[in-house]
Chains A and B, each alone.
Chain A
Amino acid sequence: MQTATDILDIQRIRADFPILDQLVNGKQLVYFDNAATTQKPLSVLQAISGYYGGYNANIHRGIHQLAEKATSAFEATRQKFQEFLNARHLEEIIFTYGTTDGINLVAQSYGRRFLNAGDEIIISTLEHHSNIVPWQMLCEEKGCILKVIPIDDNGDLLIDEYEKLLSERTKLVSVVHVSNALGTINPVKTIIDKAHAAGAVVLIDGAQASSHITLDVQALDCDFYSLSAHKLYGPTGMGVLYGKKALLEAMPPYRGGGEMIKEVTFEKTTYNDLPYKFEAGTPNIADVIAARTALEYIEGLGKENIAAYEHELLVYATEKLSQIEGLRIIGQAREKVSVISFVLDGIHHQDTGVILDQLGIAVRTGHHCTQPLMRRLGVAGTSRASFAVYNTREEIDRLAQGILRVQKMMM
């Protein structure tokens, strides 16, 4: 049977990412911090410099050639994300600065307009702080109540408990598609359907899912979906909020400025149509343009191929790391993306990270911005290795050897 390893030419892919070819502390870099941000292929870098070097201009209102070209490229990215998410309408794609920004947009615009004292918002134990704090701020302001779906020890959501939390008071459910700390893939379709049955709208935090899972917002039927380009081999400071058109139309803008208006007088301002009413000010034009190139890169490799290959890496790494005495994998959910969080008996995760770094291996250590989750799992933090399409089995072997070295040094 043909495997993803056979289909994808990983060495050729690695050549697309010049950053990988470097020594760190005198050792060949192993980059396993992909859940924090993925590296960018040359084509994305060229798209950024191509814009600044060839047609840098402010978009939408310029009449001149450069402005026309920049506007076309900018809007082409919107279309690309519409395809990427299978959104029904182009204007359902709102450009943001990233996943967090998208969540804040919904909390500040939808939340302030439509939620009231006593209304309940459901999140989960797996959430990143960016899908906790915006809701806490809203709860504080409006008197809403935050409820949390618990997990089991493997890092799977307890759907039975979720059902118990749902009631006619539930107005909004906001859950992560894939846990950044553990890699758990949540059953978001089930979560969405049950929320809708209770009359609540649903936001999905897609920061970690978007590079691993083929997305279809119409099939999911989510009301909002927020993601970041920099986790998709694209630039930082650029993200997308998908929202259902009817909801977005009913929501007030929450940032005022240029671009988002139709007409301004000192007496009154009328707002622009979707999607522009949520895009105040000059946007991050270069990175929006380059994000399209990143999606094209993913398309070129085939998202299913990437997912299959990353799954092979996950299986290999799980097997390899499970053999290490004194290592405990944190998060063994039924379905996972290519993320392995682990702790070493008697060794602080910070020390693990420092020594692995000296061996040229970049992992993330700490609480991964999921302090409530770490508390639930009874750990102060973990070391996390997360894999992308350019990683290899040989690199996982180096990680395993590196962990043995850490243990030896700490003995």
Chain B
Amino acid sequence: MTINEKQDEIIDEFDLFDDPLDKTQYIIDLGKKLPPMPEKYLTDDNRIMGCQSKVWLGAEKQGDTVHFYADAEPTAQISKGLISLLIRVLSDEKAEDIAKADIYFIDKVGMGNLVTSRRAGGLAAMLAQMKAYGQIYAANPA
């Protein structure tokens, strides 16, 4: 599935909910299922500096794709849920596709304010960092 197909799939899932609280509940439930991040990536270097919750991102080149690991502090469940969506869309994709991806699903599902505003604490920065990894690996394929 391409990055855009995955985004469209998420948009369809969220279309089932009319009430924003139901969307939030869905994100919380996704967050609960986010696999824990391998210990070796939970470093200060991988910490995405944001405003309110602590968030980490690690990346690994696997063949010609990039695999992402990410997590938030245990109580930050909405952040965890949003992270799981970003990973679903961008992880295990080709570096150059990640670098040039147009991420539109966040706004379409009505969660733009959670990712772009200060209160989201680092998630806009996380998306930027994922794309930066895509650029770095695309430029250095070895």
Q: Which one, A25, A349, A359, A405, contacts B52 given CB within 8 A?
A: A349
Q: Which one, B20, B75, B79, contacts A358 given CB within 8 A?
A: B20
Instruction: Bits for A327-363, please: 1 = Cβ < 8 Å to B, else 0.
Output: 0000000000000000000111111011100110000
Q: Are A355 and B119 in contact (CB under 8 A)?
A: no
Q: Are B20 and A350 in contact (CB under 8 A)?
A: no
Q: Are A410 and B20 in contact (CB under 8 A)?
A: no
Report if A386 contacts B (CB, 8 A).
Answer: no
Given A350-B78, A350-B119, A351-B77: A366 and B51 interface contact (C-beta under 8 Å)? yes
Q: Which one, A25, A348, A359, A405, contacts B73 given CB within 8 A?
A: A348
Q: Chain B interface mostly helix, strand, loop or mixed?
A: helix
B: contact size bracket: 10 to 19
- Per the bound structure, the CA–CA distance linking A410 and B79 in Å amounts to 13
Q: Are B21 and A358 in contact (CB under 8 A)?
A: yes
Given A409-B21, A409-B28, A410-B28: A354 and B51 interface contact (C-beta under 8 Å)? no
Which residue on A lies nearest to B20, using beta carbons? A358
Count of residues in A whose CB is under 8 Å from the partner chain: 18
Q: Chain A interface mostly helix, strand, loop or mixed?
A: helix
Given A25-B20, A349-B52, A409-B28: A354 and B77 interface contact (C-beta under 8 Å)? no
Report if A381 contacts B (CB, 8 A).
Answer: yes
Q: Are B53 and A350 in contact (CB under 8 A)?
A: yes
Which residue on A lies nearest to B50, using beta carbons? A350
Instruction: Bits for B7-26, please: 1 = Cβ < 8 Å to A, else 0.
Output: 00000000000001100110
Chain B residues within 8 Å of A348, by CB: 52-53, 73, 75-79
Q: Are A354 and B75 in contact (CB under 8 A)?
A: no
Which residue on B lies nearest to A351, using beta carbons? B78
- Per the bound structure, the CA–CA distance linking A350 and B121 in Å amounts to 8
- Per the bound structure, the CA–CA distance linking A349 and B52 in Å amounts to 8
Which residue on A lies nearest to B81, using beta carbons? A351
Give B122 Cβ to nearest chain A Cβ, in Å.
10
Report if A365 contacts B (CB, 8 A).
Answer: yes
Q: Are A365 and B52 in contact (CB under 8 A)?
A: yes
Residues of A within 8 A of B (CB): 25, 346-351, 353-355, 358-359, 365-366, 381, 405, 409-410
